Amino acid sequence: MADSPDYTPPKVWTWVKPNGGTFASVNRPIAGPTHEKPLPVGRHPLQLYSLGTPNGVKVTILLEELLALGHAGAEYDAWLIDIGKGDQFGSGFVQINPNSKIPALLDRSTPKPIRVFESGSILLYLAEKFGAFLPQDLTARTETLSWLFWQMGSAPFLGGGFGHFYAYAPTKIEYAIDRYAMEVKRQLDVLDRRLSECAYLAGDEYTIADMAVFPWYGGLAKGWSYGAGEFLSVQDYHHVQRWADMLLARPAVQRGRRVNSNRGDPSEQVRERHDASDFDAVMAQKAPGK
């Protein structure tokens, strides 16, 4: 791979494998499955194929919140898709998400199972299916969807831009890190100003917009993402901090963050979730003397 200062792009780009950096082994310029692999199916109506990344956690937070509200129909099986090992390119997964990215959902409660991909689309689908966390009032509903779509449009600059060049790229490129640090700080300021006006992003009500934004920007504010808390002075975004603490205190958010997690403290990881007791099973392993 050429060093960036001396790099002149060729007339036609060709795929040179590997190009270095984290995820280089799974990245490729073509879509479609790489291997035959049917997906497992559990007993619940909702089958979630995901991983405990910010995009995955959005959905497990919503499912746990729905269950906490008493929506028994939101019971789900959560299967771990290991994107580092290329599970997203298995034939069964690609049938559910042709874009080969987690999360993907299959709703088997309908006469013909419905597939849903793109985390924002999954949040909207579930919120509408259960009539929860999406206000009915047109102004509040529209504000919710505006922040939901804001997240979907903004986070690639945080993850694919800042996170990639700050933490994962094989070389530190000042231009790229500067460009994306500037944008991410601007985004944090957008959130901070909004959250200085109201408790939640859409107003007084906790909605799917908060659930979408929290794993990305709440995580960044709490210093979980890319080891970049100090670099981005995240403690200065006081309203984002207040909001992130409020969400973190919710038991459903705490549970949602643990589902399909394969990183960090093993006793916090609920790699697959098929029943509420799966949380207790992991906690039991953590009990003193065990």
Ligand X SMILES: N[C@@H](CCC(=O)N[C@@H](CS)C(=O)NCC(=O)O)C(=O)O
Question: What mask of x and - would describe binding to ligand X in positions 61 to 80, judged by CB under 6 A?
Answer: --------------------
Residue of 49, 87, 93, 100 that binds ligand X (CB under 6 A):
100
Residue 142 CA from chain centroid, whole number: 22
Q: Return the number of the residue (210 or 239) whose C-beta is nearest ligand X.
A: 210
Element (H, E) at 116: strand 114-117
Give the Cα separation of 145 and 147 in Å (integer). Answer: 5
Among positions 11-30, residues that touch ligand X (CB under 6 A) are 26
Of 137, 95, 101, which Cα lies nearest the Cα of 119?
A: 101
Residue 151 host element (H or E):
helix 138-156
Among 101, 250, 258, 271, binds ligand X (CB under 6 A): 101
Query: Contacting ligand X (CB under 6 A), which of 47, 60, 88, 260?
Result: 88
Interacting residue with ligand X among 46, 57, 62, 102 (CB under 6 A): 102
Cβ neighbours, 10 Å, residue 248: 14
Q: Which of these, 57, 38, 39, lies nearest to 49 by C-alpha position?
A: 39
Task: For ligand X, give the closer residue by CB, 53 or 207.
Answer: 53
Stretch that binds ligand X, among 5-13, 39-47, 101-109, 135-143 (CB under 6 A): 101-109
Single out the residue of 83, 123, 145, 184 in contact with ligand X (rule: CB under 6 A). 83
CA 264 to chain centre: 16
Which CB atom, from 116 or from 239, has the smaller least distance to ligand X? 116
User: What is the closest distance, in whole angstroms, from the C-beta atom of residue 158 to ligand X in the complex?
Assistant: 11
| Cα–Cα separations (whole angstroms), residue 270 to 54, 82, 267 | 15, 14, 8
Q: How many CB atoms lie within 10 A of CB 29?
A: 7
Tell me the C-alpha distance between 94 and 100, whole Å. Answer: 6
Name the amino acid, one letter, at 250.
R
State the binding string over 39-58 for ligand X (x if CB under 6 A, else -). Answer: --------------x-x---
Give the per-residue contact string, 104-143, with ligand X (x = CB under 6 A; - = no). --------------xx------------------------
Site membership for ligand X, residue 151 (CB under 6 A): no
Return d(Cα 280, Cα 228) in angstroms, integer. Answer: 32
Q: How many residues bind ligand X (CB under 6 A)?
A: 11
> What is the contact surface with ligand X in residues (CB under 6 A)?
26, 53, 55, 83, 88, 100-103, 118-119
